[in-house]
């Protein structure tokens, strides 16, 4: 599963642990900044999971629509998706 349990961590905690382990391993060589975005694809809607609940449309106006695009290098991007710095 995505999150798993304490005894059997899922994909997200295992990736995060490996990412921060590598960042620590190479800290003496360079400065590494980790940015993250988190979304849910529900039916045909993209939901920004880092927005506060009010901004996501819970007891408020619906959030802005998010669209999938390709950037100039051909990478898939979601314009307007919240991005936060991760430190652990």
Q: What's the token pair of residue 14?
A: 């295992």
Are 10 and 2 a contacting pair, CB within 8 Å?
Answer: yes
pLDDT digits (tens, 9 = 90+) for 1-31: 788 998 999 998 999 999 999 999 999 998 8
CA distances from 18 to 13, 69, 72, 78, 82 (A): 9, 28, 29, 25, 23
* pLDDT, mean of residues 37-48: 87
């Amino acid at each position: 599963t995505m999150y798993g349990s304490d005894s059997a961590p899922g994909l997200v905690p295992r990736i995060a642990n490996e990412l921060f382990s590598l960042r620590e391993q190479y800290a003496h060589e360079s400065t590494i900044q980790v940015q993250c975005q988190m979304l849910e694809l529900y039916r045909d809607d993209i939901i920004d999971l880092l927005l506060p609940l009010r901004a996501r449309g819970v007891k408020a106006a619906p959030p802005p629509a998010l669209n999938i695009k390709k950037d100039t290098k051909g990478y898939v991007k979601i314009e307007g998706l919240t991005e936060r710095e991760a430190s652990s």
